[in-house]
Chains A and B, each alone.
Chain A
Amino acid sequence: MGFIFLGWSIVRKTIKVGVLYSENGPYGSMGRDCRDGADFAIREIANDPSCSIQIEPVYADPAGDPRRYLEESRAMLRDQGCRQIVGTITSQARKEVIPLVEKYDGLLWYVCAYEGFEANENVIYTGTCPNQHLIPLLDYLLPTFGKKAYVVGANFVWGWEMSRIARELLGHAGGEVLGEHYLPMDDVEVDRLVADIAIKRPNFILNNLVGPSSYAFLAAIAELGKRDQAFRPENCPVVSCDLAECELPFVKVDSAVGQYSVGPYFDSLQTEENRLFKKRVEAWHGAERRLSVFFEGAYTAMKLLAASASAAGTDDPVALKAVLHAAKYDTPHGPLRIDARTNHAALPFHLGRIRADGGFDIALSRPAITADPYLTFGQREAVRPFLRVVQ
């Protein structure tokens, strides 16, 4: 275990890690940022003398094709000797990989926001679930803008489930969903949808579209706002749970200025950890670069993986998780813990407002929130009087 002395040099144990992101396809901008974040972490790990392991990445780009996630992750786990995969962005891709990490006793490190209702022993979740993004978001929106929402979402489980949860939460809060609409990621025909919104006149729009459909939707809402000021961001904001800096180059930025997104990380976070992180990335990248939650998420996951494997002296998932659950880690978004019960990270909530220069102003922040993937916490007070004592 650990490292072997060869003469005066130290040969560190090498761990093969799969890096499985779609750098091409409709959500390629997110995949490229994830891959870069992972690469930057691998570089830092290699240069960190206190780390007893180094990472040998095994890359694959499934280009957004779910079947290729299956093939590539199988090759990583079965043929390449990886026990860890940092990867997947969509829930469909994650669900393709999970049976394989279960079968080969590996770990998947999943860094993206998702719709919850999952807590697998072979997955480490370092992205947010609804009690860390949607609930604090609605807590802010309802008293600020009103209780009537219009919900748009990607035509897969992320969009559907986020709408269901939003409908349930709004119902409990005395609000309502005036309409909901789903689009495939690459569908940019948004005119009918926007016409319906113009008629229904919500107080805010919850946008869980992904990729090109989301960018087209933001542009069309901006046009609507020019004709009808009720739909300007200050009156009826479009709020996304998954829009990040790496996508803003694909959005006509002037069409999105003033709209919101949420996440545990934004490039503009004014903390010392983030300032130092950005400085290190700049030195590596050779130029200033606007970082996203995808870059920072994959970076953080790879660093956690290396730190826990280094301390455990192995990439065996059981030993690695024991170390991971016991420790507290410093990350660019602040101190981070992984809950042993759920394998989910406690994460802060930030509400970002899009600026004209393609970044986000932080409009609101909450400190780290413990993940509640099955949304049981919010119901505890209401249910507690009815709890029965187990004999």
Chain B
Amino acid sequence: MTVALNFLGRRAIVLHQQDGSISRLLRQLSLLGIEFQIQWHPLESHDASADFIFVDADQGWNELFPWGGDQTPMPIIALLQSEAPGRVAWAIENGASAVITKPVVAAAVYPTLVMGTAVFEQRKAAAAQAVRLNELIKMRPLVHRAVQAIQTQQIVDENHAYNTLRDMAMNRRITIEQMAAEILAGAVTLNEVG
């Protein structure tokens, strides 16, 4: 995975009241070439085009985000002064992948952006992988039934039938699961097999 190290031209939304406590954060964002807007009201769905969200996790409430915490479309970075477990949990539940403690120290901003972005990308990749694996698991019974069908038709053992199925899939450049589905749907006659 490539880690983002340069954020020039990216756009951030800072969900925070406009006060002096975030001036150092804004200074560092500006030095990194990040454009930002500050607001203390809920995001709209079109705000999903922002590249990062910083959120005041001390004061934040769930309705700030128009999406669920497990569906955040960009890295969320929590700004946190409190040590209260409930506030840390709120940040996690709302998808934060990194924390900047307040008062903000200058040296915290860049590394947190790099890490928050990288963790977000890792999560996204892991979630996509999980979707693929779930689909495969769902299709397993089809594969099993297709193997049984080949066994019955050709009077071969299970290993042989599985190898046959795999070879068919490879020849057609489709997945084993898709091949199994086609066999069971009758789209392919088993006479072709072998």
Q: Which residues of A contact B (CB under 8 A)?
A: 95, 98-99, 102, 117-121, 341-342, 373-376, 379-380, 383-384, 386-388, 390-391
Q: Is the CB of B6 within 8 A of A376?
A: yes
A124 CB, min distance to chain B CBs, angstroms: 13
> B residues near A, CB below 8 A?
6, 8-9, 11, 24, 27-28, 30-33, 35-37, 49, 105-107, 110
In contact, B27 and A374 (Cβ under 8 angstroms): no
In the complex the two chains form, is A376's CB within 8 Å of B32's CB?
Answer: yes
Task: Provide the residues of chain B in CB contact with A95, threshold 8 Å.
Answer: 107
**B31 near A121 (CB under 8 angstroms)?**
no
> With A98-B107, A390-B37, A391-B37 given, is the CB distance from A121 to B24 under 8 Å?
yes
Nearest first, the 8 A-B pairs at minimum CB distance are A376-B33, A383-B9, A387-B9, A376-B8, A120-B106, A390-B35, A383-B8, A119-B31
Cβ-defined contact, B32 with A374, below 8 A:
yes
A102 cross-chain contacts in B, Cβ below 8 A: 105
In the assembled complex, the Cα of A384 lies from the Cα of B31 at a distance in Å of 16
In the complex, A102 Cα to B104 Cα: how many Å?
11
**CA A374 – CA B8 in complex, angstroms?**
10
Chain A interface mostly: loop
Chain B residues, CB < 8 A from A99? 105
Smallest distance from the beta carbon of B101 to chain A beta carbons, Å? Answer: 13
| B106 A121 Cβ-Cβ under 8 A | yes
Taking a contact as CB atoms under 8 Å apart, the answer to whether B110 and A374 are in contact is yes
CA distance A118 to B35 in the complex (A): 19
Which residue from A118, A374, A384, A386 sits with its C-beta under 8 Å from B107? A118
Contact A380 B37, beta carbon cutoff 8 Å: no
A170 to chain B, nearest CB (A): 16
Report the bound CA distance from A374 to B110 in whole Å: 9
Is there contact, CB below 8 Å, between B110 and A384?
A: no
Cβ contact of A373, chosen from B11, B31, B35, B49, cutoff 8 A: B31
Q: Across the interface, do B8 and A388 meet the contact criterion of CB distance under 8 Å? A: no
Given contacts A120-B107, A341-B30, A374-B31, 11 further A-B contacts (CB under 8 A): A95-B107, A373-B31, A374-B110, A375-B6, A376-B8, A379-B6, A380-B8, A383-B9, A384-B9, A390-B11, A391-B37
- When the two chains form their complex, are residues A342 and B106 in contact, meaning their CB atoms are under 8 A apart? no
B153 CB, min distance to chain A CBs, angstroms: 56
Task: Return chain A residues, CB-CB under 8 Å to B106.
Answer: 118-121
CA distance A383 to B11 in the complex (A): 13
CB distance from A382 to the nearest CB of B (A): 9
B27 touches A121 (CB 8 A): yes
Given contacts A376-B8, A379-B8, A388-B11, contact A117 B110 (CB under 8 A): yes
